[in-house]
């Protein structure tokens, strides 16, 4: 097994589920986790939902600024809502993206008698677009089910009990819709970083591309879109609870 990579491996969900191919697929998953920290997940069953979401996103981002501002993240102690273009910086440089952040529905509203960290779990703000709330809630529900099954395969490929990581899951999953506009040379959609809000990220790309992953030789490796796939990457939460054995990988969008 190499200690670095020059491409992003593909893991077929059906091979993980098929008893005749499961052992080989688990070996591939283990290599992806130890060496790359990124993988493509194919045949996962969410393809129809991804198509629906991609079709809906232009409607959400084409809303007038004053409408999007009604659900600005500044209104939420739980960091859910809309973030305008250019409002964030990474590695001391402005990120050219706008986004909506959502969380699992039905969260309790934080009160002052609770520990401050409970503020991170709260109710979402939804843009004024018919069907948006229903789409978000369906996406969160179905992707959460997928991620829970995926974590069992991760445990299995690491020779751990299937429920090893269940105790580390919070009550609230998060979903982010992002728009990267056309940008000038030497700008960034989002600068070099590691994801830090959970255990894994499940990313659906459109056909534009721009995601790059940093290998151990300091080379930026393209992660081009594969239709219908999810790009799955380790977050710093998993890195922390595994003592760095399963390390998060630096990545960016250009």
β-strands 81-83, 98-103: how paired? antiparallel
> So what's the pLDDT on residue 103?
95
pTM flag (> 0.85) = yes
SS3 assignment, position 132: helix
Q: pLDDT for 125-143, tens place per residue?
A: 999 999 999 999 999 999 9
List the domains of the chain with CATH numbers: 10-253 (2.60.120.330)
Count of CA atoms in the C-beta half-sphere (13 A) of 160 = 14
Sequence-distant (≥ 6) Cβ neighbours of residue 227 within 8 angstroms: 207
Q: pLDDT for 81-125, tens place per residue?
A: 999 999 999 999 999 999 999 999 999 888 889 999 888 899 999
Alpha-carbon span 231 to 134, nearest angstrom:
24
Mean pLDDT across 216-235: 98
Tokens matching residue 236? 């710093």
Mean pLDDT across 73-78: 93
pLDDT at 1 over 70: no
Q: Please, what is the average pLDDT of the chain?
A: 96
């Amino acid at each position: 097994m190499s200690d670095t990579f020059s491409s992003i491996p593909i893991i077929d969900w059906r091979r993980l589920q098929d008893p005749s191919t499961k052992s080989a697929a688990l070996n591939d998953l283990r290599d992806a986790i130890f060496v790359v920290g990124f993988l493509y997940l194919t045949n996962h069953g969410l393809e129809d939902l991804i198509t629906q979401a991609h079709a809906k996103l232009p409607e959400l981002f084409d809303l007038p600024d004053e409408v999007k501002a009604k659900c600005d993240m500044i209104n939420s102690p739980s960091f859910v809502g809309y973030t305008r273009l250019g409002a964030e910086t990474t590695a001391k440089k402005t990120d050219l993206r706008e986004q909506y952040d959502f969380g699992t529905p039905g969260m309790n509203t934080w009160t002052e008698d609770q520990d401050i960290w409970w503020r991170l779990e709260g109710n979402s703000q939804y843009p004024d677009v018919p069907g948006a709330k229903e789409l978000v809630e369906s996406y969160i529900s179905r992707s959460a089910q997928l991620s829970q099954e995926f974590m069992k395969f991760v445990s299995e490929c690491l020779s751990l009990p299937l429920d090893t990581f269940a105790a580390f899951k919070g009550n609230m999953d998060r979903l982010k819709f992002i728009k990267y506009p056309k940008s000038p040379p030497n700008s960034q959609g989002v600068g070099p970083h590691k994801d830090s809000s959970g255990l894994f990220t499940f990313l659906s790309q459109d056909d534009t591309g721009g995601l790059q992953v940093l290998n151990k030789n300091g080379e930026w490796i393209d992660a081009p879109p594969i239709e219908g796939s999810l790009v799955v990457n380790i977050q710093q939460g998993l890195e922390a609870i595994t003592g760095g054995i399963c390390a998060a990988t630096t990545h960016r969008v250009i």
